[in-house]
Every structure is written in C-alpha cells, then in structure tokens.
Chains A and B, each alone.
Chain A
Amino acid sequence: MDDFQKEMFDVFVFETNSFLEQLEALLMEAESRDDSILEAVPEIFRIMHTIKSSSAMMGFENISKLAHRTEDLFYFIREKKPAQVDKQKLTDLVFRCVDFIRRNMNPESCSEDPASTIQEIGQYLDTLAQGNAPQPKEPPMPEPVAAPVQGGIPAPTAQADAPSPVVQAPDATPPAPVFQRRASDRVGCSLRILFKPNCAMIGLRAFELTTKVGRLQAGVVAQPTDDDPEGDEILASKGLLLTLPSSEQVEEIIKQLEASPFVGSVTRADEAPRRRASDVAAPSASDSAYTGPDRRSGDARNSLYMGIEIKKLDKLINLSGEIIIASMGAAHAFEQGDDEKTLIALEGLHRLILDVQDQTLSLRMVSLRDTFHKLNRSVRDATGKLQKKVDFVMAGEDTAVDRNVIDHLFSPLMHILRNAVDHGIELPQEREAAGKPAVGKISLSASIQGDQAVISVMDDGRGINRAIVMQIALDHGLITQEQAQKMSDEEVNALIFLPGFSTKSDVTELSGRGVGMDVVNESVRKLNGRIHVSSVEGQGTRIDLRIPLTLAILEALLVRADQEVFAIPSSVVREIFTPDVSTLRQANGQDVIIHRDACYPVVRMSDIFEMPHRSYEEGLMILINANGDQFALFIHEVLQQQSIVVKPTPALLKSIKGLYGCTILGSGQVCLIIDVVGLLESRVKR
C-alpha cells in the first residue's frame, strides 16, 4: 500500500466505523424504545448503500457483497412495507453484518466468505417476499448507480495513479429504477456530480454548477456548501450533491451539467431518505455521507481522526491572534525599557497561553456515548446467549473524558457488564422464586466528580456471596485461612478482581474462565483509576470505577532517591512516614516493617536503580496501596506534590515494567514516573 492508498484506507476505516457505530446505535435505540425498527429502515438502507460502494472502491469485495445483499433486504422492506417483519431476526442479521464488516475491514484479514450470511439474508428476503408480494417477479435487487461494484469498474488498487479512485465512478448506465421511482414522487431529487480527475479549482467549478442549476430552478441546495473548509476534498472524493426541490426539468438540467467543463458524470443520487421535502432545504452537517463531527470517536481503530467542534477551533484561532498581539506588546514595552509594563505584558501572555492549553485539552475530550452504545450491544448479546432477561438502563452518556482514556474504558466495562449478566442476574424463574421481577435490571451511569469520571455499573442480581468468594479464594490459594478471618466485606469483594478468580464453576462462552475481572483491575490500574465494589447479597452489586479525566496530566509525588528524582502517582500513595528502625524485621531475606499493627514488605528505590544504599534512618517510607498490593517504598526525600504532564515513554522502552511514563521537570531534565505495581511485579518475578 502506498501512502496515498494508506490514507484512503484510513479514511475508509474511519468512515465505515462511524457508520457501523451509527447503525448499532440506531438498532439499539429502536429495540430499547420498542419502536418499530421500520423507522430506521431508510437510514440503514442508506448506510449499507454507502458501505457497499466505499468497500467496493477499496477492493473489499466480500464486504461489498454482503452490504449489497443487506441493502437489498432493506430496500425491499422500505419499498414494499411487508406486513410481518421479524424485528428480532432483522436486528440479528444487521448485527451479524456489522460484525462481519468490522472483522474484514483490514487488508490482512479480509478473506472471510460472507456466503452464509448472504444466503440467510436471501432466505429471509424470500420469506418476506412470499409473505407479502403478490408480484414475485419484481426483482428485489436494484442495480445501484454510483457504486462501482465488482463488475463494471476494476478495483481501484490497480489505478493508484489517479488522484482519487472515487472520481472514476462515472458509469454511463442510466439511473437505476429505485431512484427513478423516488424522483417521481414529487419530493424532488438529488444529483451527484463527479468531477474529472484533472479538474483544477474544483470548489469554483462546483460553485459555477450550483449557480447554473440555481438559475433553472430556485431553492437548489449544494453539498458540500461553498464555505465548507474541507469542501475541495469532499468534492474530489465524493463529488457535488445538488438537491433540487422538484424533479421537473431534471433531464434538461442533467444535460446542461453534463455539457459543463470538467464534469465527469452526473447521476441521480440517493439522498438521505428520512428527510422530507420540507426540510431538504436545510443543508445539515448531519448528513453523514459528509462530515458529522458529533460522534465520530471512541474506537481505538479510529484514533487517527476525530471530529472537532468548529466553535472550539475558532476560539483557538482567536486566542492565537491575541497571543501575537500580546507578544508584540511585550516586545514593545521591553524595547522602551519599561520593566513594569514588560512584566505585566508577560503575565497577560502567560494567561493567554494557559487559555490555549485549556482549549486544546478540551479538544481531546470526547463523550462516552459511543462507548455506552457499544456496551449496550454487548449486554444485549450476553443476555441473548444466557437466556436471561435484563432491562439495561444508561445514564450520563454525555460525560466527556479524554479520548485516550475512552479507548481504554471499553474492555473493563464490557467485562463488568458481562459479569453482571452472567453471574449477577439470576434466571427469570430464580428471580421470581426470590420475589423479584423476572426481568433483571442493570444500569450503567457516568458522571464527573472533581477531576475524575465516575462510572458505575449496578445490577439487582444475587450479589456477592461472601462465603463462596472466600472459599474460592482459599481453594485457589489466593488468600490464607488467617487472612480470610480478618477480611472486611470490602476486601472480600475486591477478591473477585484477582487473577484466576471465578465464582462460577461451569465455564460459559462469556465468562467463567477465571479471566475477565482481573483484566478490569489491570486496565483500571493503567488508567490510574480505582475500583470500588459494594454488594448486598440477594439484592445486587454496584461497581464504581473512578477514572481520571485525562491521562495527559497526573497528580504525582516527586521524590528523591540518592541523586535522582522520580514521580509516583498520588493515587497509589496512602501514607508517608518516618520509619522507626526498631520496627524493621527480616522475613525470608526480605525486609519488612511494622506500621500501625500491620506488616509491609519494604522495597528500596535504591535497589531498583542500583544506587548506593542508605540506612533506613536517613529516609522516608511511602506506604503504597495499589488495588490490594501494599508495601512500603523507601526513598530519601519527598520533594513536593504537583500535577505533572505525562509524556509517553519512547516506544523502545515500552516493554519496561514499572515505568508509567516520563515527565519533564522545570530544569528540563526528564523524570521517570514510576508505575509502582508494575515495578513490584517485575521485582517479584526474579
């Protein structure tokens, strides 16, 4: 893949992912509101249509075929409005389709054959057709227009020299029957104009055409609009979309357009079907065929691109203008030798820079909506597989956190939710026997508290059974009998996050292999967050994750060991104390210290960094508590507590356990941020 194709591919993945997310959200919404999925049909049809074309363009024939077939199905439903549509069946089919596309949207693994799904869709289509249509001869498969599917146009990979493969789409076939029929229903029609690959000043050409058509018919709407900053790119890749209020004179208009210079092809296009003629006039950014900055994010695979509110960008641009003026002011004051004025100007400048920083940080904040929708989907899958009935409620989807945090939230939340379905919620008959409603309830909510996001998962299932948890922990050797007797409920609850722990004796497809919850622990630890579990037996469980809003900034304790300075995330520091040498002991060659009637192993920072030892009298102990692991870290001095900027560890050093990241001190020197638990693990291994 050359650079250009790579870029095209990235855009394709981004766009398709957004579409798939949109699809899932649509289906979930239709399902949860008990609305008929039929309302979403036009939208699904449109998305499938777009995916079909773009995947064919990128050479993913299997995706294209599947999307084509799905499009047929929805086309049929939309046009024929069959009486009995099995919503469940339909939703499942689309989900399978979505999963298939996700799996195959990758040049390395795109060879999966969609035949079985296609066949199933075909069968269902037949069922619908038999149940509904008295005219079975009508072919339910319209030949799409601007879609260079398998046959007509060769795969774009063969023609990488062209500026944009999309531009090659012009296929002189007459508009397909679908759209003719659409055009005739007095709703007006849309024309997609593709420009020739060599077209220069494409924006201007588009403007010319819009004006030209505007003279023939009033109320023409062009997409992209001429003030769209990305207009040229859209024009080059997708062409110009003109929406006409009426389909009169269309043939004439097409003829005129075709005769215009640099026009490659003019086709009647499928405009967003859910819009009525009345609001066609509003060229809205929500037409996802173009840009939709709202919810394009949240998936790790998407992280190359993200949508940004124009307002925020404008504000940034204003601020940078102000900075330039302020810096000139400062320079002027300095030249005049007015120290006081210079100082004031510098302070003003500093304030502006801080504003810029706030603003830039806010650009990275993304709402949890997409993540929540995806989670909704996995709860749905899990309940289906386990024959449980669950009412899933979400709240606070608009809570925004840094996008690099979001990328790491999905998998722990998924595990918690699956666990709630699998282990928490009882089977309907069990629930009724216990006097609870047959349908269980799981809620997922998010909110902001201070500089943390709190995400809670609550279920009204059977709760955590202390005795069973302890027994399992004992059986697996995770705790000793002695420990077990002293444990508080909270400590017992925390046991479920230990690696290798599983309360269910049988292994199900979803959980029970003893992995899962420790993944949660690990992910949350990496995010520098905390987990809290509370549970009442028979009534339910509540798991709270407290996650910092951003990974870019960290509250940390700067400490010195020998001559070097390290940062330790404050979230793991429980206490700092001066060691009383008389409480130090040796156990199995390991130094331990007794503090407040508890015994903690001692780890010396100087051992880790092979620095000269100092006696315990010359330093401090930091009591570290990170998700259950407790130990005393011996250092020489605590410098201060402050917020530090986390710099990513260079890729070369990523494999080193015990390194959370780096930061740069005021002196300009790099300071290591210690991942205390990782550090301990790498110690223990030896």
Chain B
Amino acid sequence: MSEWTDSQPTQEQDELLHKYLVFSVDESYALELSKVREIMEYKPITRVPETPAYIVGVMNRHGSVVPVIDMRKRFHQPDLENASRRCTIIIRFDGGHLGLLVDNVTDLIDIAPEMISPPPQVGKSYSHVFIKAIGIYKEQMVMIVDADKLVNLDDLAALPEELAEEEPAAAEKKAGRKAKK
C-alpha cells in the first residue's frame, strides 16, 4: 500500500472516513484507515529497556526510528511460533508514528456509520479498553480498535527530554565516510 501525506485534501479524508483495515491477531480487528500510514513487512526489531512488555522495541522505517508494539502481547495472546511472517502496520500516534506488529492484514472494508455501535458494556474483556466500537460488516461483527489507546502514556513515566528533536537525516553518509577513514 502506498503512503499518503499528512495534509490530505478533506475530500479524500471523507472517503477514508468509513474505510477500515482489517488485521488479525487470532481474531479479526478493524482499524480506521485514516490512521494508517503504511503496511511494512516484518523487519528486525531492536529491544528497548525499561518499557512495558508490549512495546517490543524500535524498527527502522525508511531511516527514521519507530516504536513497535506487539498486538499479541497487547491483547494478552500467546506468542506466535513463526514470527517472521508477521507484518507491521504503521499508524499515526501522538504526533509521531507507531508500528503495530500483527499476524497479517486481511482486508480493507467499508462500514457505514449506521452500522457502528458502541462497545458492549457487559463483561470485562481484557481488550475492552482498546475497543472503540463494534461494526457490522456482511453480517459479521468487527471490533474497531481505538488506536489512540494502544499505548498508555502513563506506562512510560514522562520526563522532559529535549535533545535530538530535529531530524538529522542528511547526516547519514558522512558518518559512513568517517567510519571508513
């Protein structure tokens, strides 16, 4: 899937409004397409210390560093045996990007607004907090994930950190060259 820029004409945004990306982590979940930036094949992930377990680390997305959460861990499901066939959905999150490691991406669907209802309040499902709404698609129930709640920012006690905010993308080759010397 190709990428689109952040500043989309509103018309296109409207078209995206009812589109959902369906991915599976044992069960199927839907994600608003307007949140999705890109789907990437599995790439090695570098672990980061002192993060909640569901944050599996960081990965390289076209030269920038993106944190990745494992949706299996997030939904408290057992790990998959062959992890390398999974893929990563890159979404917009909290002013930056976030990778969601999922088993696979299965479909792109339209759900009309009238087919969407709030999540049931009964039962204490573990993944309750992440489910924004329930949609009906082809008479099947689809759980719509609330992307904004996937990472609990309180899990990462926020401390001010100002350095290295600008992206020094241009610097890459210079470093390579210096290393050669």
Looking at A428-436, A498-506, A655-663, the stretch in contact with chain B turns out to be A655-663
Residues 354-387 of chain A: 1 if any B CB is under 8 Å from the residue's CB, otherwise 0?
A: 1011101100100000000000000000000000
- With A and B bound together, what is the CA distance between A648 and B94 in angstroms? 16
Residue contact A609 to B47, C-beta cutoff 8 Å: yes
* A side interface size, CB within 8 A: 54
A682 in the interface, Cβ–Cβ < 8 Å? yes
Tell me whether A649 and B164 are in contact in the complex, defined as CB-CB below 8 angstroms, given that A361-B170, A553-B178, A655-B159 are known contacts: yes
Residues 83-124 of chain B: 1 if any A CB is under 8 Å from the residue's CB, otherwise 0?
A: 000000000011111100000000000000000000000000
Residue contact A656 to B47, C-beta cutoff 8 Å: no
In the complex formed, the residue of B with least CB distance to A673 is B164
Residues 42-66 of chain B: 1 if any A CB is under 8 Å from the residue's CB, otherwise 0?
A: 0111111111000101111001111
Residue contact A669 to B46, C-beta cutoff 8 Å: yes
A172 in the interface, Cβ–Cβ < 8 Å? no
Which residue of B48, B63, B172, B179 is within 8 Å of A653 (Cβ)? Answer: B48
Which residue of B50, B93, B175 is within 8 Å of A652 (Cβ)? Answer: B93
Residue contact A657 to B159, C-beta cutoff 8 Å: yes
Residue contact B58 to A655, C-beta cutoff 8 Å: no
Residue contact A354 to B173, C-beta cutoff 8 Å: yes
Residues of chain B within 8 A of A654, CB atoms compared: 158-159, 161
Residues of chain A within 8 A of B157, CB atoms compared: 655
Residues of chain B within 8 A of A656, CB atoms compared: 48-51, 156
- Contacting A at CB under 8 A, from B149-181, are 151, 153, 156-159, 161-168, 170-179
Residue contact B174 to A553, C-beta cutoff 8 Å: yes
A10 to chain B, nearest CB (A): 16
Residues of chain A within 8 A of B55, CB atoms compared: 652-653
Tell me whether A404 and B67 are in contact in the complex, defined as CB-CB below 8 angstroms, given that A553-B178, A651-B94 are known contacts: no
Residue contact A662 to B65, C-beta cutoff 8 Å: yes
Residues of chain A within 8 A of B43, CB atoms compared: 668-669
- With A and B bound together, what is the CA distance between A661 and B163 in angstroms? 9
Residues of chain B within 8 A of A408, CB atoms compared: 162-163
Which residue of A358, A657, A669 is within 8 Å of B174 (Cβ)? Answer: A358
Residues of chain A within 8 A of B167, CB atoms compared: 647-648
Residues of chain B within 8 A of A281, CB atoms compared: none
B96 to chain A, nearest CB (A): 5
Residue contact B44 to A404, C-beta cutoff 8 Å: no
Residues of chain B within 8 A of A610, CB atoms compared: 49
In the complex formed, the residue of B with least CB distance to A663 is B175
Tell me whether A357 and B171 are in contact in the complex, defined as CB-CB below 8 angstroms, given that A564-B46, A653-B51 are known contacts: yes
A644 in the interface, Cβ–Cβ < 8 Å? yes
- With A and B bound together, what is the CA distance between A564 and B47 in angstroms? 9
Residues of chain B within 8 A of A259, CB atoms compared: none
Residue contact A658 to B166, C-beta cutoff 8 Å: no
- With A and B bound together, what is the CA distance between A652 and B57 in angstroms? 11
A660 to chain B, nearest CB (A): 8
A612 in the interface, Cβ–Cβ < 8 Å? no
Residues of chain A within 8 A of B156, CB atoms compared: 652-653, 655-656
Tell me whether A670 and B65 are in contact in the complex, defined as CB-CB below 8 angstroms, given that A645-B171, A653-B48 are known contacts: yes
Residue contact B174 to A643, C-beta cutoff 8 Å: yes
Residue contact B58 to A670, C-beta cutoff 8 Å: yes
A682 to chain B, nearest CB (A): 7
Residues 399-423 of chain A: 1 if any B CB is under 8 Å from the residue's CB, otherwise 0?
A: 0000110001000000000000000
Residues 525-559 of chain A: 1 if any B CB is under 8 Å from the residue's CB, otherwise 0?
A: 01100000000000000000000001111000000
Tell me whether A551 and B50 are in contact in the complex, defined as CB-CB below 8 angstroms, given that A353-B173, A655-B159, A668-B60 are known contacts: no
B interface, CB within 8 angstroms of A: 43-51, 55, 57-60, 63-67, 93-98, 151, 153, 156-159, 161-168, 170-179
A interface, CB within 8 angstroms of B: 303, 353-354, 356-358, 360-361, 364, 403-404, 408, 526-527, 550-553, 564, 608-610, 640, 642-664, 666-672, 682
